[in-house]
Structure 1
Amino acid sequence: MTGSGGARLASTVILTRDGVGGLEVWVFERVMTMPNYPGMTVFPGGGVDSRDFPARAGADELWHGRSAESLGAQLQVGADTAHALLFAAVRELFEETGTLLAVDKHGELPEDARPFHGQRMELESHALSLTDVLRSNNLRVSADLVVPYARWVGRSERGTAFDTFTWLAQLPEGQEPDGATEEADDANWFPPALLLDGWRAGLVRFAPSTWAQLLDISEYDTSGSLWEATVGGGGADMSPVMDDAADDPRYAEFFTLRPEDRIGRPFEL
């Protein structure tokens, strides 16, 4: 389950909606006891689990939408790894927010994911796999509802290397995320620009990839316009951004501005 340079494969999801003032994203602040990125504000996500891979090579009975082969070609990985990355994205989003991006045999999303809450808790405790949840409810993961957005390869503050595939998803009608996860101190919807202003004021901590993606999506006014820009023209370029893009002039502010954090210490990566 390793990616570029032996880094651990991971998936994270930018969940969006249109708020009163325009585009908003769901983020949460990680508890200080987390081994990686403690106290940082992040998108829902985490490492790929062995059970995110198909039960057998090429299995697609729990799959809906574009093929794993097509997705893998965009991600620059094999079909089974693409399967695992997408399943990890859907699983982590469900575990950490209660949002379930899976469809029934008619291709319809659940209008209310709360009936699945018990299985969500079992999924988070590893008592169940996402495959178990899907099979017991006759659901499939849809590759049309979660689309590739970016890929960053870098290290956490403790030195753990991650090859992180970021996905984009729109909040399904009738579902509402929550912060009912032990990993979060707080969680809510925010405009991307407001989060960046909070970072500049020392009120929010970000990993380089999260900051960069917020900067990119802050250019869009609506969830729909961001989605169309991402899926149009053949989809996002998923070539990996290496070493946190420290030399990229677009992200120079992150590496040159050193805001004082909320407890009075200089922000350190």
Structure 2
Amino acid sequence: MKFTNMEKLYLLHLIENKNQNTITSVASAFNCTKPNSKKILDKMLNDGVLCKEENRYMLTKKGNDFAEKFNKNRINIEKFLNILLNLEEDKIKELSYKLMGNELDILNEILAEKSKKMLKFKSTNVDYNELINILGGGEYNAYLSIDKIEDELKNSSIETSMAMMGFESNVRIVVGEESYILLTPKEVKKASDGFIRSGFVMDISYFKNGVEEDVVYNEKNFLIPLYVFKNWKLINKKILYSSSYLKISSKIGFSKNHNKKAIFNIFIDLVNL
């Protein structure tokens, strides 16, 4: 059933303000004339979403079902905007109503859908099984950074590893029968002895129960099993991140292979999955 945006707002008003259901109170709530409000209410009567008892307009079972659906979406949008914008509660609520009352159905659907996943994360600690269950099957955007591991601790600050030059920063998380993080390597050019030499990542490995396991390389991408990134942290209800020690084998020019361990950090922006 198709509703105008004003009809949606009337349904939201009536489900949240059950005692303000006369023409006078509805017209006052929407700052419009009684004839205009009556025209909208009478149309909704004819559509079967309202019934009338004396001078009061009441939601029918059909109307209540639609009103609850719209209100659930509005509340999800309100919660999403609260996480995203961190404004005062009254302003967020007002904004959620304004979004529902404009020709923004596609945006409203997107916001409501995004909020569903975000609000399912109840704790700041998330393991990869919970991550898989909440995300569901599909591919999701994520971001990579790689930190250097010092053989000998000289400074407290953690430096970005040069290995980061060998990967695209945008990565994909694939959730399915086999869930993995898809990393795309890229060529590195480095000046050495007066020459520009090309370098590339040859292998990545991880450690499982004390055993070193090679990461599968397939169609120009490394497929790291998602369980390698077992523990995730939720920051400010918007960002998930996890870190793991991985071993990288790379080669520049004709030199021998360089084997280094580094900390791979994966970030998931829940606002922009």
Shorter-chain TM-score: which interval? under 0.3
TM-score scaled by structure 2? 0.20
In our comparison, the structure showing a higher alpha carbon Rg is: 2
Which structure is higher in RCO with an 8 Å CA cutoff and minimum separation 6?
A: 1
Structure having the higher strand fraction is 2
TM-score normalised to the size of structure 1?
Answer: 0.21
